Amino acid sequence: MTIPIFDRARASARYIREQISTDIDVAVVLGTGLGAFAETLSEPKIIPYEEIPDFARSTVEGHMGRMVIGNLAGTSIKVAVMQGRFHYYEGYSLEEVTLPIRAFGAMGVKKLVLTNAAGGINLNYKTGEFMLISDHINFMMASPLRGSHDQRLGDRFPDMTEVYSREYRRIAREVAVELGINLHEGIYMALQGPNYETPAEIRMMRKLGADAVGMSTVPEAIVARQMEMLTLGISLITNPAAGIENEPLEHDQVMQIGQQVNGQFCQLLTGIISRL
């Protein structure tokens, strides 16, 4: 008999709770190449994903596959950081991909920050810059809410008018200005992957209003919205999307750009979380 996702998430949450002594204030999911933020937490408790009931395994380079729980630098704010996520293209179901968000919800976490590495579709975006996600386009052609409904998870038909909190975006913009960090704001489009997009697909996406493209985040954001979590989304633009420049797209480049801007990223994220 299949165990309902609500009960699986609750089991994961129970295990995580047993490892820490306090409630979690903010949960963070770190995208490809952005794992260094987890190293800035003080008094960290590290939990490998394989120890958490029902958690999948990260199989992609740049995703360490562990949860780090500690205090935001210089504060008593308790932060749970996923140092790597699971992707649909790894062969996991969307239910598996989003189970960690369900687990955070089961723990009572109401503040969520989702980050990712993305290709820049907007011609004004430069490699190494950040984009605040104002909205998304789900081109994965699937929803993590599909299937039989469990009322304990939230509404079956959640409103998606404001998936990414306006207030959190205002805070992020203020912090970026204070730090002198160029923070764009735009639309993120998610595809299944793992192949990169073709130049023709990128031209189509631009016409549809997308500013950046990636292979994650949207399923997590949908589940968070259903569970009434306040969500902030940030993309690191690691490369111009296909066809913009006459260069091949490579995962190693994504990793390198993440490493180059990790100092800025950690500053930005620390400043934002301290004000949420």
Summarize pLDDT for 230-246 with one digit per residue, the tens. Answer: 999 999 998 877 667 76
pLDDT band (50, 70, 90) for residue 2: confident
AA identity, residue 119 = G
Asked if the model's pLDDT at residue 185 lies above 80, the reply is yes
User: Token pair of 138, please?
Assistant: 């789900």
Q: What was the pLDDT predicted at 258?
A: 76
CA 130-134-140 angle, 5° bins: 95
23: its two tokens: 């409630």
For the full predicted model, state whether its pTM sits above 0.75: yes
Q: Which residue has the higher pLDDT, 166 or 57?
A: 166
Tell me the C-alpha distance between 172 and 183, whole Å: 9
Q: What is the mean pLDDT of the chain?
A: 92
Phi-psi domain of 180 (left: phi exceeds 0; alpha: psi -120 through 50; beta: other): left
Domain tally for the chain? 1
Helix axes 262-273, 251-260, angle to 10 degrees: 60
| Cα–Cα distance for residue pair 84/41, rounded to 1 Å | 16
Is 249 within 8 Å of 192 (Cβ atoms)?
Answer: no
Residue 153 structural domain: 5-273
**The pLDDT of residue 62 is above 60:** no
- Which pLDDT belongs to residue 243? 66
Percent of the chain whose predicted confidence (pLDDT) is above 90: 81
Q: What angle do CA 134, 70, 168 make, to 5 degrees?
A: 20
CATH number assigned to the domain comprising residue 165? 3.40.50.1580
pLDDT at 239: 85
Residue 259 contacts residue 61 (beta carbons within 8 Å):
no
Is residue 250 over pLDDT 70? no
Task: Determine contact, residues 275/268, Cβ cutoff 8 Å.
Answer: no
130 in Cβ contact with 31 (< 8 Å)? no
Residues 6+ apart with CB under 8 A from 237: 118, 119, 120, 125, 126, 127, 128, 129, 130, 131, 184, 212
